Structure 1
Amino acid sequence: MNNSKKKRVFEILQIGRSDDTASKAFDYLLVLVIVINILVMILETFESFSGYRSVFAIIEICCIIFFSIEYTLRIWTSDLLYPEETKGRAAWRFMTSYDGIVDLFTIVPLFFLSGFVAFRMLRVVRIFHLFRLNTNYDSFHVITSVIKQKKNQILSSLFILFVLMLGASLCMYSVEHEAQPEVFDNAFSGLWWSLSTILTIGYGDMYPVTLLGRVIAIFIAILGVGVVAIPTGIISAGFVEQYNRMQREAIKSKGTVALNAEPGSALIGLDTIGLLREFGISPLVIIRDGSVIIPTDDIRIVEGDTLVYYEDEFGRTL
């Protein structure tokens, strides 16, 4: 009986189960609590609402209690999320995961409501709860997949950007320090200027006054436009490639096999590595509640999923 209750709690806590009314209602409740919490954080900054701070404090405590209960239940049901682990290791694995860390940082401010600013700032982490609500949909997986696939190109372009910023800051400091020592007083001041110039922010708090400094600034601004466009182009091209791949794989039917994760199936709880090791299956896509998901290492099969993979004429998976 306890196991069935535990499984039911686990199912309700899972995000994105549109076929489960209770789970869907919990998702909406979670969104509502997050939105209310963020709204309170914003309203607290207005002097005109200073008379309601006691009300805001009560709302914040109620929200954190809600998050604390959710965090406790997720730890309690973590052995169902990681069925291959022991209860202790499953709990630890959840607590050190992205979701677990976000949940923990969300409830920490409850114990430091009037403490250090650093702990109060942890309230901002609650915004990242919204990312969790999107983890089971196409858009989130496209973003993460593109970043993983293009990480080498992105890191290379960011390195080029950093070198340009460093060179520009040292040049500007060397040229402008004598003319305006109170503005370009050290190399870091030049780095701040190069950052705002290359990224076309232009705060206006620092600018060259010498002729040579202005000439250098012109070249840096022109180079910055091209350098910043490199990672932007890489990510944009990756989005297009990934969406096209998803569309092609979703409509292909010839040579593909669809395998459903029925209740009690041994597929449930396995990640992509486990599927390959246990069943020799490397799914192209996972269809979950009508959404097409590109498999990644952190995706686990849940009840109701449909795995689509290639199989040749001899029945071998590809």
Structure 2
Amino acid sequence: MKLQEGPPESWRLRLYTIIFEADTRAGRAFDLALVGLIVASVIVVMLDSIASVRARHGTVLTTLEWMFTLLFTAEYIARLSCVRHPLRYARSPYGIIDLIAVLPTYLAFLVPGLQALIDVRVLRLLRLFRILKLGAYVAEFGMLGRALAASRRKILVFMFFVMMVVTIMGTLMYVVEGPDNGFTSIPVSVYWAITTMTTVGFGDITPKTDLGRVIASAMMLLGWGTLAVPTGIVSAEFTAQRMGRAPTTRTCHECLSEGHLPSARFCRNCGARLPAWQSDEGLWKPEGEDRAEPS
């Protein structure tokens, strides 16, 4: 690996590096500014739902909402303009979230008749989807998502085991307690087993017999271990994610996957050639290889 100077980059590549990657000072500043805007916009939506606050500061909240909407619209357009495949990004999960973040405000403005419908509140609540945009700017969100994806089969097997346990224990409680003590059917008894195993215990159904209380006690103790198992599975995968690769935000221009090593030449997902990785120290490329020019 060595550091080399390259020719001036195109505005699309510079904009792409700032928006989609955070290994440069400008990229980190952009991400931090967006995180602040997202949190502030969510706070405005929450304040707007309080009647007394809306009555006193409704004009200010509306003005702020439009400011956030215009800023997020400009960000969405900038993202589409700097990627190689705008339609692919628009159909990606983050692209859909970006669109949902701005669409409700425009819909409520363009279709005034919707204000007469009670269900129009759904459009206002959709603005809270902006908080999902945080996942695009915090590296740990991506690591957690990859850890969950890697452990999904183990979690599914564990959930299947839990369903068998609550079904058997619920059926047993139905036989022991019976309808006279509130266990009127097997589904109701399974519901009791789920609330007991998850340590929620609403208290609407409780065992009255001694044997039923022994079974309930065993279910409560089993619940502690039940909650610990998936936590351990995800924690192990999360640790593997942290140990497995260097923490960069290097992004493929073709499929928009991120987290590639600084020395990588091709995308690990789609195989496309990666442009040189840029950080605060400059432009890096493998030894003996010319810098990939942006297209």
Q: Does 1:147 align with 2:131?
A: no
Instruction: Say which of 277, 280, 289 aligns to 1:304.
Output: 277
Q: Residue 100 of structure 2 aligns with which residue?
A: 105
Instruction: Tell me the SS of whatever aligns to 2:253.
Output: coil
Instruction: Tell me the SS of whatever aligns to 1:116.
Output: helix
Q: Is the 8 A contact 1:271 1:299 kept in 2?
A: no
Instruction: Say which of 10, 15, 18 aligns to 2:24.
Output: 18
Closer/same/farther in 2, CA of residues 7 and 234 from structure 1, 3 Å limit: closer
Closer/same/farther in 2, CA of residues 244 and 26 from structure 1, 3 Å limit: closer
Q: Does 1:37 align with 2:41?
A: yes
Q: Residue 231 of structure 2 aligns with which residue?
A: 232
Q: Does 1:73 align with 2:78?
A: yes
2: CA distance, partners of 1:58 / 1:185: 55
TM-aligned CA deviation for residue 37 of structure 1: 0.9
Q: Residue 95 of structure 1 aligns with which residue?
A: 90
Q: Residue 193 of structure 1 aligns with which residue?
A: 192
Closer/same/farther in 2, CA of residues 207 and 120 from structure 1, 3 Å limit: farther
TM-aligned CA deviation for residue 155 of structure 1: 1.6
Q: Residue 56 of structure 1 aligns with which residue?
A: 61
TM-aligned CA deviation for residue 131 of structure 1: 0.8
TM-aligned CA deviation for residue 103 of structure 1: 0.8
Q: Is the 8 A contact 2:260 2:268 kept in 1?
A: no
Letter in 2 for 1:76: S
Q: Residue 291 of structure 1 aligns with which residue?
A: none
2: CA distance, partners of 1:50 / 1:59: 13
2: CA distance, partners of 1:65 / 1:299: 36
Q: Is the 8 A contact 1:106 1:122 kept in 2?
A: yes
TM-score between the two structures when normalised by the length of structure 2: 0.69
Closer/same/farther in 2, CA of residues 211 and 102 from structure 1, 3 Å limit: same
2: CA distance, partners of 1:71 / 1:15: 16
User: Identical aligned pairs, as a percentage?
Assistant: 26
TM-score between the two structures when normalised by the length of structure 1: 0.65
Q: Residue 179 of structure 2 aligns with which residue?
A: 178
1: CA distance, partners of 2:62 / 2:187: 40
CA deviation string 1:26-81 (max 9, x = no partner): 323212211111211332344542322332233223212222222222223232xx
2: CA distance, partners of 1:175 / 1:103: 54
Letter in 1 for 2:22: G
Q: Residue 293 of structure 2 aligns with which residue?
A: none
Q: Is the 8 A contact 1:40 1:60 kept in 2?
A: yes
User: Which of structures 1 and 2 has the larger relative contact order (alpha carbons within 8 angstroms, sep 6+)?
Assistant: 2
Letter in 2 for 1:108: L
Instruction: Tell me the SS of whatever aligns to 2:277.
Output: coil
2: CA distance, partners of 1:94 / 1:170: 49
2: CA distance, partners of 1:177 / 1:31: 54
Closer/same/farther in 2, CA of residues 73 and 192 from structure 1, 3 Å limit: farther
Q: Does 1:165 align with 2:166?
A: yes
TM-aligned CA deviation for residue 117 of structure 1: 3.9
Q: Does 1:269 align with 2:253?
A: yes
RMSD, aligned CA:
3.9
1: CA distance, partners of 2:13 / 2:243: 37
Closer/same/farther in 2, CA of residues 191 and 287 from structure 1, 3 Å limit: farther
TM-aligned CA deviation for residue 189 of structure 1: 4.7
Closer/same/farther in 2, CA of residues 27 and 46 from structure 1, 3 Å limit: same
1: CA distance, partners of 2:65 / 2:190: 39
Letter in 1 for 2:269: D
Long gaps (5+) in structure 2: 1-8, 110-114, 279-283, 287-295
TM-aligned CA deviation for residue 158 of structure 1: 1.9
Q: Is the 8 A contact 1:170 1:190 kept in 2?
A: yes
Q: Is the 8 A contact 2:80 2:86 kept in 1?
A: yes
Closer/same/farther in 2, CA of residues 77 and 103 from structure 1, 3 Å limit: same
Letter in 1 for 2:217: I
